[in-house]
Amino acid sequence: MHKFVPDWETARGVIFVETLTTPVTPAAVRQNARRDDGAYVFHHPPKFTWSNVALPPLAWNHYSLYLHVPFCRAICTFCTFERTQYSKSSMDAFFDALLDEVDLREQSDDFTQATLDSIYLGGGTASLLSNEQISQFLGRLRSGFGLHDDIECTLECEPGTKREDDFREVRDAGVNRVSIGVQSFSDQLLPALNRRHTVATSYRTIEAAHNAGFSNIHIDLMYGLPNQTLADWKFSVNEAIRLGIQHVSVYRLIIFQDELLARKLGQGELQPPADAGTIEEMRRYALETLPANGLRQYSLTEFAKPGNECIYVQRNWDGSDYLGFGPAAYSRHAHHLWENTVFHHRYHELTDDHRLPVGKGITMTPHECLARDVAMGLCLLSVDIAHVERQSGASLDEIFGRKIAQLVDDGLLRRTRDRIYLTDEGLLYATYIMKRFTA
């Protein structure tokens, strides 16, 4: 009998708990393993095993870069990322510290052979950066970090924070992909999330980005919202199709204990989300409708027209190196994982003192590295066996051969000589499967 013990995973301070203790048989999986709730394995090894680290100088080759802008106009009820209320003075002070961090990282590490594969300006709300700040930051990356003009560069944008002229300016600065946090095309549903924008604002922002010359526009859509009906969800999915959006992320709302949304639901201030059966219908509708209209599913949550798949998303899940700037930003280099300090005052203290603002981290063993890259790699629906073995320095069959064989027997994975794949049934239990490798 295979037995699970509580498995704690943390994503930027969010704790997910898995407490399955069932035998691994097809019947048990279907009857007892909870279907996906969107709480995938975002990090491994679990954060409670991380400690204060002193990283050696690192030599960067192919890597992606993430900027975490920790400010928002309003704090969403569902969000658990590091963020605080925006003010211009706070943003300006952060940006000065950010440039100090960039200088310190360039002095610490070797970027002589570095080539950036992708850049993602996220948060928080990255579009609260001024156009000049975006241009200055990207310009700084050209002078030592391997930035060249034809790489994917995404700006995460809250509806209403950039207009057409702004989009033209940031496009000229090097941004070539815009990610717009629409969440829903229903004005009745947005207030429960504490979103400042309206549906009309979303339409205007999408149109402005398109008119400014962006041919790769992405939007987020969420299902399982308080008071959301299946008809609401179908309308949002079909609006994305009607608008000709090139890339759509489909997320189920995760309600975290002690977050504002959970408290509001517990106090009866909001109507509860739909029942599990309706939520499953919502999910299936997206899985069927988006591909049928040219948006191919290439990850558990991502759908794109051919050629518009997000390189940054793929590099995040496939075990590639990535470098994070800003409070609470994550980085990976080979077997090294680390997180910048999450505290704004500490971030400023360290950069003012000419020290990198690194918080906790871990150097993974080959086993831990392989577990991470297989579990997280399944977010891309399949895993390249030779790739994860090469990155980890460990043998997949020696460590996970029996587990994979069992999951194949259960109908949840399919294996070829080169890859392992989630089956159609496995898509419904991706969280369960991931944690079979990390438990």
Q: What is the CATH number of the domain that holds 233?
A: 3.20.20.70
pLDDT grade, residue 26 (50/70/90)?
low
Is residue 385 located within the same domain as residue 288? no
Q: Quote the CA–CA distance of 181 and 245 in Å, as a whole number.
A: 13
Last residue of a domain, one of 316, 331, 365: 316
Does residue 86 belong to any structural domain of this protein?
Answer: yes
Say what the pLDDT of residue 18 is: 31
Q: Which two tokens stand for residue 22?
A: 């069932």
CATH number, domain at 39?
1.10.10
Last residue of a domain, one of 260, 295, 316: 316
Does residue 213 belong to any structural domain of this protein?
Answer: yes
Is residue 212 located within the same domain as residue 71? yes
Is residue 281 located within the same domain as residue 427? no
Is residue 218 located within the same domain as residue 291? yes
Q: Quote the CA–CA distance of 378 and 372 in Å, as a whole number.
A: 10
Is residue 258 located within the same domain as residue 389? no
When mean pLDDT is compared across 19-33, 339-353, 408-422, the lowest value belongs to 19-33
Say what the pLDDT of residue 13 is: 30
Q: Quote the CA–CA distance of 171 and 212 in Å, as a whole number.
A: 8
80: Cβ contacts below 8 Å, ≥ 6 apart? 11, 12, 13, 14, 256, 259
Last residue of a domain, one of 316, 333, 351: 316
When mean pLDDT is compared across 89-93, 146-150, 214-218, the lowest value belongs to 146-150
Is residue 41 located within the same domain as residue 67? no
Q: Quote the CA–CA distance of 32 and 203 in Å, as a whole number.
A: 42
Whole-Å CA distances, 138 to 108, 118, 300? 20, 12, 30
Is residue 105 located within the same domain as residue 190? yes
Q: Are 286 and 237 in contact (CB under 8 A)?
A: yes
Does residue 424 belong to any structural domain of this protein?
Answer: yes
Does residue 369 belong to any structural domain of this protein?
Answer: no
Is residue 40 located within the same domain as residue 134? no
Range of the domain at 237: 62-316
Is residue 112 located within the same domain as residue 227? yes
Is residue 213 located within the same domain as residue 290? yes
Domain count, the chain: 2
Asked if residue 74 has pLDDT above 70, the reply is no
Does residue 240 belong to any structural domain of this protein?
Answer: yes
Q: Are 104 and 351 in contact (CB under 8 A)?
A: yes
Does residue 249 belong to any structural domain of this protein?
Answer: yes
Asked if residue 307 has pLDDT above 50, the reply is yes
- More confident position, 253 or 422: 422
Is residue 306 located within the same domain as residue 158? yes
Task: Read off φ and ψ for residue 198, nearest 5 degrees.
Answer: -110, 170
When mean pLDDT is compared across 51-65, 247-261, 392-406, the lowest value belongs to 247-261
Does residue 373 belong to any structural domain of this protein?
Answer: no
Is residue 305 located within the same domain as residue 390? no
47: Cβ contacts below 8 Å, ≥ 6 apart? 8, 9, 10, 360
Does residue 274 belong to any structural domain of this protein?
Answer: yes
Look up the pTM and report it: 0.89
